[in-house]
């Protein structure tokens, strides 16, 4: 019997990943579903167990490069209203995993709560940002986290407090769970100051980064005390194109999709960058984006 038989939630077949990633690249997911709530999610996890189908959790798809041949697994998109709840208690924000970073950042701004200004303009969801501890040098979402509710791959819900959560540069031990929601501890501040700070972040982002073309943000992690973008730039790679994938002329750690880029083009460009940076600086660049296949 097919593993999805009897489930209330709809399972789609061969759903194009280019529709769900900010890169606008990627072949079809073998299975794709949008559970309505944690009950649906739990049943999905149980049902696919027998056939050992790999699970991939999708938020805003802003850090993913999906292979051209597609993704051989079950992509779970946490996109229903249940996964997009946002509320406030004193100076704490309660955010579900599917809330977009722009939404949580403007919610904080409206309520005179500071701490999340640096997220302005970063495409992504709370769940994705927590899994990879999104941020800028010196400011990461993990710094604000007080508690996170997760589901493990057996469908058990757990609440983790600060002591059980380990955040590091662009990683956390939360990535081994399905993140459901988080409590973020904010600081009360004058609304105008928050607005000004958000404006400064947005301005700096627009000045240094290419937001006109689809991309997945920074492709490589920064090596210790260095900027991957600076090293790639010094290799003279800005503007380098393979197919429709192009290294941004504004920020060398961005690969842009100029129209119909394939994952294969992006991967070839990444390999070229890794080779040039290794040869010139003896530095091994590590991808920040996740490659799904």
Catalog residues that contact ligand EPU under the rule CB under 6 A.
Answer: 136-137, 208, 217-218, 221-222, 227-230, 233, 251-253, 288
Q: Give residue for tokens 């769940």.
A: 127
Q: How far is the CB of 278 from ligand EPU (least distance, A)?
A: 17
Q: Toward ligand EPU, which CB reaches closer, 122 or 148?
A: 122
Q: Which helix (H) or strand (E) holds 275?
A: helix 263-281
Tell me the chain's radius of gyration from C-alpha atoms: 19
Residue 262, by phi and psi: left (phi above 0), alpha (psi -120 to 50) or beta? beta
Place of tokens 């007080």: 146
Nearer to ligand EPU, 130 or 151 (CB): 130
The CB-side HSE value for 251 (13 A sphere, CA atoms) comes to: 22
Give CA–CA dist 143/135, Å, rounded: 10
Q: Closest distance between ligand EPU and the C-beta of residue 288, in Å?
A: 5
Nearer to ligand EPU (CB atom), residue 251 or residue 276: 251
Instruction: Supply the minimum distance, in Å, between the C-beta of residue 202 and ligand EPU.
Output: 11
- For 194, the token pair is 């928050």
What number of other Cβ atoms are within 10 A of residue 22's Cβ? Answer: 17
To the nearest 10 degrees (0 to 180), the angle between helices 101-110 and 191-208 is 150
Tell me the closest approach of the beta carbon of residue 234 to ligand EPU, in angstroms.
7
* Residue whose CB is less far from ligand EPU, 9 or 134: 134
Please state the closest distance from residue 23 (CB atom) to ligand EPU, in A: 12
Measured from the CB atom, the residue of 15 and 288 that comes closer to ligand EPU is 288
């Amino acid at each position: 019997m097919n593993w999805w038989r009897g489930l209330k939630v709809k399972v789609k077949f061969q759903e194009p990943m280019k529709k769900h990633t900010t890169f606008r690249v990627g072949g079809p997911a073998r299975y794709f579903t949008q559970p309505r709530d944690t009950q649906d999610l739990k049943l999905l996890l149980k049902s696919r167990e027998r056939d050992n189908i790999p699970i991939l959790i999708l938020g805003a798809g802003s850090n993913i490069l999906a292979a051209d041949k597609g993704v051989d697994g079950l992509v779970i998109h946490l996109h229903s209203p249940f996964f997009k709840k946002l509320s406030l208690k004193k100076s704490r924000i309660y955010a579900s995993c599917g809330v977009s970073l722009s939404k949580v950042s403007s919610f904080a701004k409206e309520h005179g709560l500071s701490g999340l200004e640096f997220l302005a303009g970063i495409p992504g969801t709370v769940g994705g940002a927590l899994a990879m501890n999104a941020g800028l040098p010196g400011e990461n979402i993990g710094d604000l986290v007080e508690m996170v509710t997760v589901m493990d791959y057996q469908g058990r819900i757990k609440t983790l407090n600060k002591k059980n959560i380990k955040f590091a540069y662009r990683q956390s031990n939360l990535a081994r769970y399905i993140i459901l929601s988080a409590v973020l501890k904010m600081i009360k501040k004058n609304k105008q100051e928050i607005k000004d700070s958000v404006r400064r972040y947005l301005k700096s982002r627009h000045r240094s980064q290419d937001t006109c073309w689809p991309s997945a943000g920074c492709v490589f992690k920064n090596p210790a005390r260095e900027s991957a973008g600076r090293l790639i730039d010094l290799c003279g790679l800005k503007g380098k194109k393979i197919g429709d994938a192009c290294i941004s002329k504004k920020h060398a750690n961005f690969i842009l999709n100029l129209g119909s880029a394939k994952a294969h083009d992006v991967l070839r460009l990444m390999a070229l960058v890794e080779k040039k940076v290794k040869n010139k600086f003896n530095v091994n660049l590590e991808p920040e984006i996740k490659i799904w296949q």
